[in-house]
């Protein structure tokens, strides 16, 4: 009696077997499976077992139609670390670089056995690349990520901003240079990210940005200084005496929300010496600081 044939899928090694045998080539091959769960588990296993040879297949998987597979590939690339940095930087620096990771069609199987053929998407790879570089934390990625703040794609700019902020002091200098960019939208993003670094070195360039000719840039710089908190108090106190009226106003506004009592006396000086608007902003700031010090709810903004 002839042996019953076994379906090809059942004869293929499972991900558990491939992982146990440290069969990297088999796991890379499994990234091309028609089954999404198989692709996801293969991607996760490669992060634990593989090295540089898995970088390109995992980058290709960043364009997978299934979010779970993309996330697994991203996690594994972050685990691989240094070998992934160069290719990921190339992705965010050049939209065409994604073409190196040839496109393919993946069949997604849904309820009732229905199938859809979906092409992988190049734009996703660049967005994921920025986020992964932030997780890896290699200093070589800082300047490329800062340059990505000027990218035409909103999603890439957003991810690059979050990634750059994770580098802290290492990002301050390149971000400071972007505060001179001719595009105000780019300057706004740079100011915001400087505040997100949490580094005291960002205070001085942000105080300088309070002189920007664009009100939205000045507002972003003021908001960033508030987030820097105590490190910004003394420079902001000095800024209440700046020759530029905009600087004085935004400094008083930032001191209001930081809430440090050291600012009360300088704000009183501003209220006495400034024009009507400066007096109003300074007095409002003083009232809020004193209210918070007494443990009462802060008054709402006027």
The pLDDT of residue 10 is 47
302 residues of the chain, pLDDT tens digit each: 455 554 444 445 689 999 999 999 999 999 999 899 999 999 999 999 989 999 999 999 998 888 999 999 999 999 999 999 999 999 999 888 877 876 566 566 666 666 666 555 668 899 999 999 999 999 999 999 999 999 988 899 999 999 999 999 999 999 999 999 999 999 999 999 999 999 999 999 999 999 999 999 999 999 999 999 999 999 999 999 999 999 999 999 999 999 999 999 999 999 999 999 999 999 999 999 999 777 655 555 44
Residue 200 sits in the same domain as residue 238: yes
Residues 6+ apart with CB under 8 A from 101: 56, 59, 60, 63, 125
Residue 128 sits in the same domain as residue 146: yes
Distance CA 256, CA 262 (A): 11
Residue 208 sits in the same domain as residue 140: no
How far does CA 84 lie from the centroid of its chain?
Answer: 18
Cβ atoms of residues 72 and 101 within 8 Å: no
Residue 4 sits in the same domain as residue 150: yes
What are the DSSP E strand ranges found in the chain? Answer: 105-109, 115-119
Q: Which of 146, 167, 188 is the last residue of a domain?
A: 167
Residue 174 sits in the same domain as residue 136: no
Residue 4 sits in the same domain as residue 145: yes
The pLDDT of residue 71 is 97
Residue 46 sits in the same domain as residue 143: yes
Q: Which residues pair with 108 in a beta bridge?
A: 116
Residues 6+ apart with CB under 8 A from 181: 150, 187, 190
State which residues form the domain around 196: 169-302
Q: Residue 261 belongs to a domain with what CATH number?
A: 1.25.10.10
Q: Which of 105, 138, 167 is the last residue of a domain?
A: 167
- 242 class by beta-carbon count within 10 Å (0-12 exposed, 13-18 middle, 19+ buried): middle
The pLDDT of residue 242 is 95
Distance CA 101, CA 50 (A): 18
Distance CA 264, CA 256 (A): 9
Residue 250 sits in the same domain as residue 154: no
Residue 158 sits in the same domain as residue 248: no
The pLDDT of residue 6 is 43
Which helix (H) or strand (E) is 273 found in, with range?
A: helix 264-273
Structural domain count, the chain? 2
The pLDDT of residue 294 is 73
Q: Residue 16 belongs to a domain with what CATH number?
A: 1.25.10
Residue 159 sits in the same domain as residue 173: no
Residue 123 sits in the same domain as residue 191: no
Distance CA 73, CA 60 (A): 9
Residue 184 sits in the same domain as residue 87: no
Phi and psi (nearest 5°) for 178?
-70, -20
Q: Which of 167, 200, 231 is the last residue of a domain?
A: 167
The 10s digit of each residue's pLDDT in 259-292 is 999 999 999 999 999 999 999 999 999 999 999 7
């Amino acid at each position: 009696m002839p042996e019953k044939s076994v379906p090809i899928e059942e004869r293929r090694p499972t991900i558990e077997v491939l992982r146990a045998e440290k069969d990297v080539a088999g796991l890379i091959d499994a990234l091309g499976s028609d089954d999404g769960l198989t692709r996801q588990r293969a991607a996760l296993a490669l992060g634990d077992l593989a090295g540089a040879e898995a970088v390109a297949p995992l980058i290709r998987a960043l364009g997978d139609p299934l979010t779970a597979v993309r996330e697994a590939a991203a996690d594994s690339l972050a685990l691989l670390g240094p070998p992934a940095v160069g290719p990921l930087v190339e992705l965010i620096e050049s939209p065409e670089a994604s073409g190196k990771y040839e496109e393919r069609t993946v069949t997604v199987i849904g309820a009732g056995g229905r199938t859809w053929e979906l092409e992988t998407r190049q734009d996703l790879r660049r967005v994921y690349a920025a986020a992964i570089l932030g997780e890896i934390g290699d200093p070589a990625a800082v300047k490329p990520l800062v340059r990505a703040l000027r990218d035409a794609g909103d999603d890439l700019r957003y991810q690059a901003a979050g990634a750059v902020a994770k580098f802290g002091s290492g990002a301050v200098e390149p971000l400071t240079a972007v505060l001179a960019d001719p595009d105000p939208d780019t300057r706004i993003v740079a100011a915001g990210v400087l505040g997100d670094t949490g580094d005291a070195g960002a205070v001085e360039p942000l105080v300088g940005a309070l002189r920007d000719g664009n009100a939205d840039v000045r507002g972003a710089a003021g908001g960033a200084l508030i987030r820097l908190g105590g490190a910004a108090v003394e420079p902001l106190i000095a800024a209440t005496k700046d020759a530029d009226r905009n600087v004085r106003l935004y400094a008083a506004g930032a001191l209001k929300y930081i809430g440090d009592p050291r600012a009360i006396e300088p704000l009183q000086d501003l209220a006495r010496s400034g024009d009507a608007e400066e007096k109003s902003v300074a007095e409002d700031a003083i009232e809020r600081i004193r209210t918070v010090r007494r443990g009462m709810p802060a008054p709402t903004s006027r």
